[in-house]
Amino acid sequence: MKVFKIIILAVVFIFISCEEAIWDKAVETTSPQSNLDYLWKECNEKYSYFELKNIDWDAIKVEYSAKIHDKMTEDALFNVLGDMLAELKDDHTNLISNFNISRFGTHHLGQDNFDWRIITDNYLPKDYYISGPFAHGFIANGEIGYVRFSSFSDEIDQINTDFVLNRYKDTKGLILDLRENGGGSPKDMFKLLSRFVETKTLIYYSRIKSGPNHNDFSDSKPAYVEPYDGERYKNKVVILTDRGTFSAGSFTALAAKAISNIVLIGDTTGGGLGLPNGGQLPNGWTYRFSITQALTLDKSPDYENGVPPDIPVLFDWNDLKTDEIIERAIIELQ
């Protein structure tokens, strides 16, 4: 089996470990203003998408500092700091306390485009298979394989993937449904895509924040996927995406842009192409935000706002017996 190369995960884990190791107890304080200042400065020096998103972080500090006062409750402070982080519009950005977790919610930027009940009632056979993380079956009179992959949960292995691909090896095409897949282990992406390429393929570049200025980055490094030495699917593949396709799901969509036999159909993904780093505030709460950028083959970071489909299709909620996105994928594959 090939060794899958994940370029920046190890670096991120090192950063997190160092953050914990060098924590200075002398800065511990419950002061609301001190905690806002600390969080703002950490983001200012390490967050990776200020320029792409045209965020005026200085103005945001002024706006949210005006909401701070010494007698505010922990809950009120949490809401102010969480709302400040939400200005980054990034679901890899969170504030975590023992009573709440802040989040932005990129999936709300577009309409809902997925209903599993419509698929099980109108497309899949009642006895559809479940193989590890994959729910799958024949559709379109047996001509097409449909595979639902709902989470990058590091459950892909050789046995379940071999079974799925061998089952649909004689179909006209394969649908891989990543709608509402919120991400997880990037290793799964490399495992999946290695089954759809015949040669070593450059899929994107990556770089990491390397200095305090907003445009301080390391040199970009290439990421490749190599063909799996075993069962591979060689016909056309359609990947279905929506705003709920995030993080490792978006990485998969970005990589698919570089693979000739894969087509993206549906809605723009939710982004999440910057891997997060974590730290601790002076009051003990923890936070994380993106410190890397994934870049297209022409080294643009633009897809952090979402990877667009090759063929845009939206759900029609007036017809609860039809999945328009699957229907368009069937047309593409037939």
Indicate whether 92 and 201 sit together in one domain: no
Cα four-point dihedral sign 281, 245, 145, 224: negative
**What's the mean pLDDT in 181-200?**
94
Q: Which pLDDT value is given to residue 27?
A: 72
Is 250 part of any domain? yes
Q: What is the pTM of this model?
A: 0.90
Question: Would the pLDDT of 207 be above 80?
Answer: yes
pLDDT tens by residue, 78-96: 999 999 999 999 999 999 9
Out of 65, 90, 106, a domain closes at: 106
Question: Would the pLDDT of 1 be above 70?
Answer: no
User: Considering its fold, how many domains does the chain have in total?
Assistant: 2
pLDDT tens by residue, 266-307: 999 999 999 999 999 999 999 999 999 999 999 999 999 999
Indicate whether 195 and 303 sit together in one domain: yes
Indicate whether 327 and 265 sit together in one domain: yes
Is 210 part of any domain? yes
Is 239 part of any domain? yes
Is 130 part of any domain? yes
Indicate whether 15 and 57 sit together in one domain: yes
Indicate whether 148 and 175 sit together in one domain: yes
Q: Which pLDDT value is given to residue 186?
A: 85
> Looking at residue 13, which CATH number applies to its domain?
3.30.750.44
Question: Would the pLDDT of 196 be above 90?
Answer: yes
Out of 59, 80, 106, a domain closes at: 106
pLDDT tens by residue, 148-163: 999 998 889 999 999 9
> Looking at residue 223, which CATH number applies to its domain?
3.90.226.10
Indicate whether 57 and 139 sit together in one domain: no
| 12-16, 65-69, 161-165, 310-314: the lowest-pLDDT one | 12-16
Question: Would the pLDDT of 24 be above 70?
Answer: no
Out of 106, 138, 167, a domain closes at: 106
Indicate whether 176 and 261 sit together in one domain: yes
235: containing domain = 109-272+292-333
To the nearest whole number, what is the mean pLDDT of the chain? 92
Indicate whether 134 and 206 sit together in one domain: yes
Question: Would the pLDDT of 233 be above 70?
Answer: yes
Q: Which pLDDT value is given to residue 22?
A: 46
**What's the mean pLDDT in 156-176?**
96
Question: Would the pLDDT of 17 be above 70?
Answer: no
